[in-house]
Structure 1
Amino acid sequence: MLITVSLVFLFGVFLALLIKFKALGCGTAFVAVMFGFFLASTGAAGPVRELTAACITALSDLTS
């Protein structure tokens, strides 16, 4: 059975856990989220998506 999870969901959970355990302050979390939004609207969004897809493909090839 194949289960897919959105990377946005995973990063959101990770960010929430960092805030909960006080490893990341609210101000830093805001900066991290805003950086993500601004990065998504630049020309770097395409290469970041391609790099992420390549890493996911490489990881899935290692496990199969």
Structure 2
Amino acid sequence: MRNDMRALRQAKGQSQQDLGQALGVSRQTVNAIEQSRYDPSLPLAIRIARYFGTTVEGMFHVDGC
């Protein structure tokens, strides 16, 4: 599943560490999500979307859709 997290994080001038602290997860988790190696749980996906002022559907894109 692709996502826009890296671009949105960089647009805010944040590091992965900064974003991880804001979301209550590790920098490694942020990195894994940005690299599409890890799909977040629904509660985390909702927190991410709300943090960036978008919807879960707007943040995460299922390949082929």
Global fold match (TM > 0.5): no
Q: Tell me which structure has the larger Cα radius of gyration.
A: 1
Looking at secondary structure, tell me which structure has more strand per residue: 2
Ranked by relative contact order (alpha carbons within 8 Å, sequence separation 6 or more), the top structure is 2
Looking at secondary structure, tell me which structure has more helix per residue: 1
TM-score (norm 1): 0.28
TM-score (norm 2): 0.28
